[in-house]
Structure formats: structure tokens, C-alpha cells
Structure 1
Amino acid sequence: MNKTDRKAAHEPEDLARLFNERANAGDAEGLVALYEPDAVVAVGEVVATGHTEIRTFYTDLLAKRSNFPAVDAPPALRNGSVALTFARLPNGNVSVEAARQQDDGTWLWFIDQLKLRPLTPGKD
């Protein structure tokens, strides 16, 4: 997928769908494009700040994993140009993100935290 094929998020709810499409396409740059330049992504104990660190994080993740199942993403909670988006993953993990409407009307995440549930012996 090249940059010209990438659709923008016109609603905050579009971000989770676009993330899933790009992750399954192995498009690390496309994932980075869903974030503001100074965004923060926290997954477990890993914290990536800014496009360079987020790119490194997703490049490493995509090298290890190639299948990203669809997520349950309820409607965003909006307050003007800011929205909270949520996603429940099939494995029970929950992701909560803060998105901001950009000057061109599109939406980008500026905070993304994936809460990893503790592993249960014999169940994971």
C-alpha cells in the first residue's frame, strides 16, 4: 500500500478500521500516518513518542505478527475536536485512544494506550 492509496479518517471511528487494514497489509508507514507527529503510543511497558519511535515500534510488531483480527470498536466519545476511541480485541485486551480533528477536518490519534490483560495460565 503506498501513500496515495491511503484514505484519511474523516470520523474518529474510521481510525480503528484503517489501523486494522494497514496492519494486515504490513503497512508500518500507513500506521504511523494515523498519528499526530508528537503522538504517544503505550503498549504494556513500551512507550513510543513521536513518529520515529512509533515507526520503529510498528515495524518491529509487523515483523513478528501478520494477522490482526477485526476489533469491536464502539462509537467514539466526542467533545468538539477531541474524541476518545475504544477497541476491544478478541483476546480481551482493550485499547483506548485520544484523537484530535485536524485543520483539514480529518482525525488523527495523539494518545494510544493498549491495556494488556494479565496472562492466565492454561488459558492463553
Structure 2
Amino acid sequence: MTTWPMTTTQPSPFVATSPEQLEPAFASAVAAGDLDAMVGLYAADAVVSLPRGREAAGHRAIREAFAAALAAGVLGAGGACGEDAAAVSVRALVTGDLAMTTSSRADGTVCTQVARRTADGGWLWVRDGSRLREADACLPSPSGDLVVA
């Protein structure tokens, strides 16, 4: 078994004891509009894909992207993956300290992420390749600031 270096050490208000728990926790955080809880599900070195090949890397950039998505209404009812835990099926393929999580909405939208086991045995996402990929509101402006469309 390969052991990957663990840089996932920040505290989170929610501790996922399995990778399958991340998606419902995200849906709850979105429903509550709790940006801290949303970002807390990602490792400090996580990367989230944005439209046009852009990426949000690290908590600060991820927070800005999700804040823009919330403000633009991209997350929530009718929005991106994970806004309604009841409408989502979640699967995880775990190998050692890594897992690929896949969530499917009733409308057929599929989101995939990679999670990593933390030093304390919990799980956090380290790569989110699909949740904001179609959310133009999360793209930085030429000045580098996010603009809500």
C-alpha cells in the first residue's frame, strides 16, 4: 500500500469518518449558507476546478469561489452537485488513504472528487473536478477578483 504525504491538518467543524459522508455534509452546509462548513470539507491544499481550465487552490481561493457561487445562486435549489442530499446518491472507491467520491443527482448530473484520509482518520476532499466547473460566476476577473455575474 502506498502512503501519501498528509498535509491535511486544519481543524474542521465536521469530521467525516468516511468519504461518503462528505457530500451530505456539503449539501447541509449549502442549505445553511455556511461557507465555513463548506470550505472546512476541503484540505488546506485542495484544488477545485473552475470554468475554462481555471482552478481555485487552497482555502482562501476555494472560499472566494464558493462565496461567489452562493451569491450568484449557483449553489442551492437547482444549482450544482450536492445541494439536496435527498436527491444525491454517493459512492466512494477507497484505496489506502485516498478515495474517489462520485455523487449523482436525480437530473443525471454527476460530480467527482478525490478525498484523502487525515492524520486523525477523518476524510477531506483534496480535488473537486466538477462542482464549480460550469459556474462562470466563480471565475476571477482580469484583476484577479471574483465577479458575481
TM-score when scaled to structure 1? 0.80
Trace 1:49-88 onto structure 2 (pairs within 5 A): 49-65=57-73, 66-67=76-77, 68-70=83-85, 71-88=87-104
Instruction: Describe the superposition over 1:72-96 as per-residue Cα deviations: whole angstroms up to 9, x where unpaired.
Output: 2333100011100001133432211
Determine helix, strand or coil for the equivalent of 2:90. Answer: coil
Q: Which amino acid aligns with 2:26?
A: F
Supply the distance in 1 between the matched residues of 2:112 and 2:121 (Cα, whole angstroms): 21
Supply the distance in 2 between the matched residues of 1:7 and 1:74 (Cα, whole angstroms): 18
Trace 1:25-104 onto structure 2 (pairs within 5 A): 25-45=32-52, 46-65=54-73, 66-67=76-77, 68-70=83-85, 71-104=87-120
Determine helix, strand or coil for the equivalent of 2:120. Answer: coil
Q: Give every structure 1 segment of 4 or more consecutive aligned residues whose post-TM-superposition deviation is greater than 4 Å.
A: none
Percent identical: 34
Please provide the CA RMSD for this pair: 2.1
Supply the distance in 1 between the matched residues of 2:30 and 2:46 (Cα, whole angstroms): 18
Q: Following TM superposition, by how much is the alpha carbon of 1:38 offset from its aligned partner in structure 2, in angstroms?
A: 1.1
Structure 1: tracts of 5 or more residues without a match: 118-124
TM-score when scaled to structure 2? 0.68
Q: Following TM superposition, by how much is the alpha carbon of 1:113 offset from its aligned partner in structure 2, in angstroms?
A: 1.1
- Higher percent of residues as strand: 1
